[in-house]
Structure 1
C-alpha cells in the first residue's frame, strides 16, 4: 500500500501548482488501491514467502485455525484460519481505511 500511495504523497509534499496532475494521481491511486484490495493478497503473499525463503525465515502456516491473542477481546472466531486474519482483518481493513480517507470531502478540497 505504501508503494501505491508514494507518488501521490510526493506530489502533495511539493505543493504542485499542477492541480490536474494531482487530481489524476488521486484518481489513479484510488483505482490501484481498489485493485490491490481485490487482487493483492496472493501476489503479496508470494513475495513474502520468497523473501522469507531468501532470508531463512519460517513462514506461518496460514491454514491453521486463528486464536485471538493477548490484548484483544476474546471474540470467538470458529473455523477461521490465520490467513483470514491477515487478509481480511488487516490487509482489507487498512486498504478500506485508506480508500475511505481518500473519498472523504476533506481530501477532495
Structure 2
C-alpha cells in the first residue's frame, strides 16, 4: 500500500504553483486536509493519493515514500511505452481492493 510522502506532496504542489486551497478544490477536499497531509499529521488512503496525483498530473509513486526506489530505477530504464504500461498496472494494483480474506 502506498504511503504518501508529506515532503513530496508539498514540493509537487509548490512546483505546480498551487495553494493548499487550490489543490484541495481539485480533489474535492478541504485545505485543512491538504495541510494535514503535508505536515504528516494524517496520511490519506490510497484512493486520495490517486486523486492528488491526478490533480498534480503526476504518477502515484511520485507522491509516495521511496521504499521502492529500486523498482522506480528499473522503470526509468524502460522505454516510454513500457514504462506507462508498467505504471498503469502498478496503479491498478494499488487502487484495487484487496482480495485477501480477513
Q: Which TM-score applies when normalising by structure 1?
A: 0.29
TM-score, normalised to structure 2's length? 0.30
Structure number, greater radius of gyration: 1
